[in-house]
Amino acid sequence: MTRILAIANQKGGVAKTTTVESLGAALADLDVSVLVVDLDPQGCLTFSLGHDPDQLESSVHDVLLGDEEIADVLLDTEDKVTLLPATIDLAGAEALLLMRPGREYALKRALAEVGQDFDVIIVDCPPSLGVLTLNGLTAADEVIVPLQCETLAHRGVGQLLRTVREVQQITNPDLTMLGAVATLFDARTTHSRDVLADVADRYDLPVLNPPIPRTVRFAEASASGASVMRGRKNKGATAYRELAENLWKHWDAGEDVRTLDF
Ligand code: ADP
Ligand code: MG
């Protein structure tokens, strides 16, 4: 059975794209077949997986609008995951989709065509709660919210959880909020942990184990175009591998996901 996971937070810079890329690579290393979907018009996931969005003939945009078959748009990557790429065209998709009936279901319909080819599909949502994110949440079985452990991390979480509840009521009753993943975590101070405990308590949101530490290797990796999972061993990659194992045991063996205690 294919598991579809959406990574969503309308805030930018909280490591959504990094989480999709690193988790995808870590799952692929466990011999899981993975498709990652770039739903952000900025195309950062597409770019960091080695494809220049400006050079692509077709993208998820054409698939959502029904102009291309999804199978014709998929790309291979060096990370061993398959990519449904985005280009800046996607910025216009919001307006075009809004005029269509069933607009929230466009991605779900497309993924149904290729679902049997993949064990896990991970969707990188854009930094907004517009129709693209609604497509991601409508297609997904589960959603994870990356939270950057800074003082105002909770801002916007209430609005995101409200959107998730609306999707559960209207377009996707089977959607499960799996929890938050702590990103850019600084284990040397108690601040990160306090922020997390506050958000978890305030919104009754589980926090998945382990937190992802802040490490300069991520910035180096984006600059070099190589995934942080491929470089030399570092604590960020190790944390994403542990998170991938946690999720895979949940999906494959039906175990509860492991969460942090505060
Ligand atoms: P989003 O998709 O939510 O906008 P990104 O994944 O693009 O966020 O990450 C934002 C920035 O933070 C990027 O420059 C990325 O390299 C950096 N980053 C992500 N995770 C980490 C980390 N664990 N440590 C250090 N930098 C990180
Ligand atoms: Mg992003």
Task: Determine which residue's CA is closest to atom 14 belonging to ligand 1.
Answer: 219
CA neighbours within 13 Å on the CB side: how many for 199? 29
Strands 75-76 and 82-84: antiparallel
Q: Which atom of ligand 1 is nearest to the CA of 9?
A: 3
Q: What is the DSSP letter of 110?
A: H
> Which residues have C-beta atoms less than 6 Å from ligand 1?
12-18, 44, 127, 183-184, 212, 214-215, 218-219, 222, 236
| Residue 34 pLDDT > 80 | yes
Tokens found for residue 78: 């060096």
> Is 91 strand, coil or helix?
helix
For 36-56, how does the pLDDT look when each residue is reduced to its tens digit (9 = 90+)? 999 999 999 999 999 999 999
Q: Which atom of ligand 1 is nearest to the CA of 239?
A: 23
For 237-255, how does the pLDDT look when each residue is reduced to its tens digit (9 = 90+)? 999 999 999 999 999 999 9
Q: How far apart are CA 238 and CA 161, in angstroms?
A: 29
Closest-approaching ligand to the CA atom of 42: 2
Sheet of strand 75-76, all strands in order from the earlier edge strand to the far edge: 75-76, 82-84, 34-38, 120-124, 3-7, 142-148, 176-183
Burial of 27 from C-beta contacts in 10 A (0-12 / 13-18 / 19+): buried
Angle at which helices 235-253 and 217-224 cross, to 10° = 90
Inter-CA distances, 155 with 79, 165, 204, 229, Å: 33, 17, 15, 30
Q: Which atom of ligand 1 is nearest to the CA of 183?
A: 23
| Residue 18 pLDDT > 90 | yes
Topology of 3-253 in CATH? Rossmann fold (3.40.50)
pLDDT-based confidence at 192, cuts 50/70/90? Answer: confident
For 78-124, how does the pLDDT look when each residue is reduced to its tens digit (9 = 90+)? 889 999 999 999 999 989 998 899 999 999 999 999 989 999 999 99
Nearest in space to 42 (alpha carbons), one of 128, 105, 116:
128
Q: Which of 7, 16, 18, 243 to mutate to test the pocket of ligand 1 (most atoms within 8 A of CB)?
A: 18
Q: Which atom of ligand 1 is nearest to the CA of 215?
A: 24
What is the number of helices (H) and of strands (E) in the chain?
A: 10, 7
Strands 142-148 and 3-7: parallel
Inter-CA distances, 137 with 7, 52, 141, 216, 242, Å: 9, 26, 8, 31, 24
ipTM associated with this complex: 0.99
**DSSP per residue, 217-236:** HHHHHHHHTS-TTTSS--HH
State the average pLDDT for the chain. 93
24 C-alpha to ligand 2 centroid (Å): 14
